[in-house]
Amino acid sequence: MSEVSSSRFHRLLLTGAAGGLGKELRQRLKPHAEILRLSDIAPMDAAQGSAEEVVTCDLADKAGVHALVDGVDAILHFGGISTEHAFEPILEANIRGTFNLYEAARRHGVKRIVFASSNHVIGFYRQDQRIDASVPQRPDSYYGLSKAFGEDLATFYFDRYGIETVSIRIGSSFPEAQNRRMLATWLSYEDLTDLILRSLTTPDVGHTIVYGASDNRDSWWDNRLAAHLGFQPKDNSEQFRAKVEAQPMPAADDPSMVYQGGAFVATGPFDD
């Protein structure tokens, strides 16, 4: 991690610890907390020594989430359903789950949350539009709607209870940019970690929304409204361009070429 002041937390909670980003963050966050409490509904590797606590918990289980949050200094909320699905599972994991987490934060006096929001909150903007965090939400899916709810919840818990959140509208955080759209949305793990640490340690963030993308050649997102985080991504997706551009060109009206949210705008409906 680069220039961010390295305040060490006593106990940090990471939800979604069994997921793609969770596994990566488990290693990367280690130096920044005396104890990392790792949680997921899915199996996780056993705790490595006394610096880790591993807690299996369904975010929809109110009592379980309240116990999970007890004793933590800050929360990195990465758990939940991470792609488009029927509404009911999203309602439980993402909407009820995120509500349970904020209520538990209020009860247990946790004052800082980093929320893994998503570009799918604004997925119906077109790729020829450049937007900042002040534009109206345009969710592209039930999944995007659940993240929009999470962002609104963050605003409410700040206004009502002073709990601060940074919502990171993550683009595409994977080892590689896998397609043309991801050349614009890719976020390296290194840049994500830097952004998370800034989100944890920057004072007076209120509820800040920041787009999570690396310094890619083409960009749809303007982060000037989150300038106080000092986020200056170091990586970019050019290293993947040749491989991606060797793929067949989708039709010009394919959602992956038109909308910021790509294929999510056309997933579903989910009839019984």
Which active-site residues does the annotation give? Answer: 143
120 binds ligand 15L (CB under 6 A): yes
Residue among 82 and 202 whose Cβ is closer to ligand NAI: 82
Q: Pick from ligand 15L, ligand NAI, none: which does 19 bind, CB < 5 to 8 A by kind?
A: ligand NAI
Segment interacting with ligand 15L, rule: CB under 6 A, options 51-59, 70-78, 113-121, 218-226: 113-121
Which residue number places its CB atom closest to ligand NAI?
19
Question: Which candidate, 80, 88, 62, places its Cα nearest to that of 15?
Answer: 80
Residue among 20 and 268 whose Cβ is closer to ligand NAI: 20
SS3 call for 180: helix
Sheet harboring 74-77: ordered strands across? Answer: 52-56, 33-40, 9-15, 74-77, 112-118, 164-170, 207-212
Distance of CA 224 to the CA centre of its chain: 19
d(CA 79, CA 57): 10
Q: What are the structure tokens assigned to 64, written together?
A: 């379980």
Helix then strand then coil, in percent of the chain rounded to 5, is: 40, 20, 40
37 binds ligand 15L (CB under 6 A): no
Bridge partners, residue 113, by sequence: 75, 165
Residue among 118 and 208 whose Cβ is closer to ligand NAI: 118
SS3 call for 70: coil
Task: Say which residues have a Cβ less than 8 Å from residue 123's Cβ, sequence separation at least 6.
Answer: 138, 139, 140, 141, 144, 259, 260, 261, 262, 264, 265
Residue among 9 and 143 whose Cβ is closer to ligand 15L: 143
- Smallest distance, Å, CB 27 to ligand 15L? 20
82 binds ligand 15L (CB under 6 A): yes
**# of chain residues touching ligand 15L (CB under 6 A):** 7
Q: Pick from ligand 15L, ligand NAI, none: which does 99 bind, CB < 5 to 8 A by kind?
A: none
Residue 264, number of CB atoms within 10 A of its CB: 24
Q: What are the structure tokens assigned to 90, written together?
A: 């999203």
What is the residue type of 98?
A: T
Select from 2, 6, 27, 83 the one that contacts ligand 15L (CB under 6 A): 83
Segment interacting with ligand 15L, rule: CB under 6 A, options 41-49, 70-78, 112-120, 125-133: 112-120
- Smallest distance, Å, CB 149 to ligand 15L? 14
167 binds ligand 15L (CB under 6 A): no
Residue among 26 and 120 whose Cβ is closer to ligand 15L: 120
Binding site for ligand NAI (CB under 6 A): 16, 18-22, 40-42, 58-60, 78-82, 93, 97, 116, 118, 170, 172-174
Residue among 15 and 82 whose Cβ is closer to ligand 15L: 82
Q: For every residue of 98-113, which 3-state class applies, written as one string?
A: HHHHHHHHHHHCCCEE
Which residues sit at the interface with ligand 15L, rule CB under 6 A? 82-83, 118-120, 172, 185
